[in-house]
Amino acid sequence: MTSHLKKVELHCHLEGAAPPVLTEAQARKYGVDISGELRDGAYVWHDFASFLECYDKVSEVYRTEEDYALLTETYLDELAGIDTIYSELIVSPDHGKRIGLGADAYISGVCEGIRRAKAKSGIEARLIVTGERHFGPESVIGAAEYAARAGNPLITGFNLAGEERMGRVADYIRAFDIARDAGLGLTIHAGEVCGAFSVADALDAVRPARIGHGVRAIEDLDLVKRLADLGTVLEVCPGSNIALRVFPDFTSHPLRRLKEAGVRVTISSDDPPFFHTSLEREYELAAVVFGFTDAEINAMTRTAIEAAFVDEETRQALLARL
């Protein structure tokens, strides 16, 4: 139903997008037994702790610069195949360090994947470097410094992800100052695991242009109005929210209520195969489950391009393609 619509994705974690077929091939290549985490072409987990374990196990089979080029290229090819014209991928140079590959080789592999995919389909992609709050403020500052110093034109944003219940956004202000001074776009995971207060926290401490999820802002109608007044863009990932039981079902999901309250909302897939979803399915859900018309969905895609962390020339070219 939405297959004819152009698509844009602002919120997707690179390792979280690893296609099961590619992960299987990688596991064979490295002789890793992944049968506990990957069965019948799908990732297997049952609660938040086992989701994180599964995610780590899958990440383990992507080890070299070429592995990251292949992973990035494969996911972007998949997106281009459903008429996606722009994608922002959340990446963690720290992850590159932790697996012994090194931050530079990790990023360079990802950038090679972006170039290969763009050469085939024209899909544009940019990278959002993320700090992980469960590794503490120093590690997040390190990630911001890396992003700021990289001088890589494909790195255009900075994010804060990881365990939302660890610390408050105020503990990470320094990292966001570094990223802002370097001209990077800012976004913060909030209002997913934690309630409306975490969204208010993000606005008070950093006031990012975008918020990852932010859907639990619906618990505080004054906050919803504040988001609408500020024009803060929410990167909403409905399939992820239902898979992680942020809301019990799509009927109680606030995407439509947020939009009707004037909040600028967009649609993304987060960690698609882990949540048995895809960007294609998220667009389908917007139409079939949330009842948005093609024009309303196109308006959300336009909002995503307006909020994309790209130079103005690229933004205008993307708007022209819509």
Query: Which residues are part of the catalytic machinery?
Result: 192
Encoding tokens for residue 317? Answer: 């070219």
Do residues 154 and 148 touch, judged by C-beta distance below 8 A?
Answer: no
Q: Is 11 annotated as a binding residue?
A: yes
Encoding tokens for residue 185? Answer: 């776009």
Shortest distance, CB of residue 11 to Zn ion, whole angstroms?
Answer: 6
Shortest distance, CB of residue 313 to Zn ion, whole angstroms?
Answer: 28
The CB-nearest residue to Zn ion is 270
Shortest distance, CB of residue 176 to Zn ion, whole angstroms?
Answer: 17
Chain residues that interact with Zn ion, rule: CB under 5 A: 270
Beta-carbon contacts of 241 under 8 Å, excluding residues fewer than 6 positions away, are 192, 213, 215, 247, 253
Q: Is 46 annotated as a binding residue?
A: no
In the chain the beta strands, taken as DSSP E runs, fall at: 7-13, 38-39, 42-43, 84-91, 124-132, 155-161, 185-190, 210-213, 233-236, 264-267
Question: Which residue's CB is nearer to Zn ion, number 27 or number 273?
Answer: 273
Do residues 2 and 298 touch, judged by C-beta distance below 8 A?
Answer: no
Shortest distance, CB of residue 130 to Zn ion, whole angstroms?
Answer: 9
Question: Which residue's CB is nearer to Zn ion, number 56 or number 294?
Answer: 56
CA distances from 306 to 19, 185, 209, 226, 318 (A): 28, 12, 11, 19, 9
Question: Which residue's CB is nearer to Zn ion, number 270 or number 280?
Answer: 270
Question: Which residue's CB is nearer to Zn ion, number 17 or number 101?
Answer: 17
| DSSP symbols for 201-222 | HHHHHT--SEEEE-GGGGG-HH
Q: Is 189 annotated as a binding residue?
A: yes
Instruction: Write the DSSP symbol of residue 166.
Output: S
Which segments are annotated as binding site? 11, 13, 189, 270-271
- Summarize the annotated binding site for substrate as residue ranges: 271
Residues forming the annotated binding site for Zn(2+)?
11, 13, 189, 270
